Structure 1
Amino acid sequence: MPELRFEGKVAIVTGAGHGLGRSHALLLAARGASVVVNDLGGTLEGAGASPAPAEEVVKLIADNGGRAVASTDDVTTPEGARAIVTTALDAFGAADILVNNAGILRDRSFGKMSVEEFDAVLAVHVRGAFLVTRAVFGHMKERGYGRIVNTSSPSGLFGNFGQANYATAKMGLVGLTKTLAIEGTRAGIKANAIAPLAWTRMTDALLPAELEARLTPGRVSALVAFLCHEECPVTGEVFSVGGGRVARVFVAEGPGWRKEDHTVEDIRDNWQAITAEQPYLTPTALGEQSGASLQAMLD
């Protein structure tokens, strides 16, 4: 089978100065893509800024014969998001791929979490992904092609202590991904999400040290590159990935139970049927889920 390459394609990777984003940018460039390496250069908590992280990744790509430009624009502002896309268009004439990876942490137990800590995390993860995607979406539609990969998290899919803000943001990206997939289909735009587990500066205080060598960012980037490729066969999907394992994660609805004008006691007495998991339905859009509910009314 031929190697999957990206010659002629232009990729934007946000949060690409460190960790997963850095790994994604390096791999896409090594496979022939021209890359916009976006990173504000701040701390893990989102403070400060520096051009050094993005410039370092650009230099690594150039030293290996690739093409890349640095962007230190802020994903959380409309102006910054537009500037990131403009950088791609000015440098390479197109923007075919977007990997929304930028993120920060403000971990704290729910009872102690401030409004500012909640808002700051959503601003980078959700608002940032929305703004950069909005800035590039029209261009992709005009060209009739696009690949978007959003970075969710197991914390968002399954919850995690001390991360109400982060988990909310990461599950929000799942909803964004599924809607982008629906709205982008006719224009040749595919959108998918990953829920990665990797050793990065975000996780080095959370994961056992002995796992560092096994949970490398590179073991996530291969999936990202595949989802960015023109051969990617899916859209609107979410994948758990890390340590060499890749798995589809899906939202399912059980067969349910129905009774016209049911009472509170009916709910209690039929709880086992209500919570049954088989046979399950995996809707790909609201209409499909609603259709199943309407059909149950007619049966």
Structure 2
Amino acid sequence: MSEKSGARLSVFKTYKLFVGGKFPRSESGRVYQVTDSQGGWLANAPLSSRKDARDAVVAARKAFPGWSGATAYNRGQVLYRVAEMLTGRREQFADEVAAAEGLDREAALAAVDTAIGRWVWYAGWSDKIAQVAGGANPVAGPFFNLSVPEPTGVVAVLAPQDSSLLGLVSVLAPVVVSGNTAVVVTSERAPLPALSLAEVLATSDVPGGVVNILSGRTAELGAPLAAHQDVNAIDLTGAAGDAALATELETAAAGNLKRVRRPAAAEDWSADPGTGRLLSFVETKTVWHPIGI
């Protein structure tokens, strides 16, 4: 096609993984076809390997001290910036969600707007978690007794299969807002909005490694993450449609006593999220201190 004709060739987007703040291809070099709700080709997504999962855990562990050590206010501001960036790419995400989930334009825009609002909502909780989950405890003695929530550590998140962006935000944001770092396995069927979210995270103020995003087979990636000794918790939402897989992963997670959030039979991602997920991946530290010293 000549330039003089006024037309140009289409440039297809290359989707990559997001690990440690960078965009590598899968170390295996594998990809798989992603199709729309009608079976039409959309893109080739990286087919992550177990090695990619291990690399993502290493990146998440490296980022944990800095992210968990940041002030709650700072984490909230960083996450609010992500919502700003999402708003600037609202139309792009609406296109991807519409193609991924078979929604019409209006419904896709509504899903994206709800996802942005959900991210802002969780960002606002960053400096309020301690007031809800912590406090001063009455004790019989001359002591102060204080309980405070602390992040669990590295959390593996199997994103929901049916909600490519809103569901993803609903499971990811509550993990990182409290100071955890995350390794996310995207929806196997509809990974593209999640891989585009990685571009938003990379161009916002989120430190590299705080969120790592892998696309591929949920069962293939879930197994090494569930068994990994440096993963402290796992959210099995993405295994909701496969009871045998969920049981297998929960059994593997017992190897180092991981916190496990079991998948619900059905979830309404547009409903009020409450504080359940927010408090699923925090630990309570209780401190005693003598009065007057």
TM-score normalised according to structure 2 size:
0.38
For CA contacts below 8 A with separation 6 or more, give which structure has more relative contact order: 2
TM-score normalised according to structure 1 size:
0.37
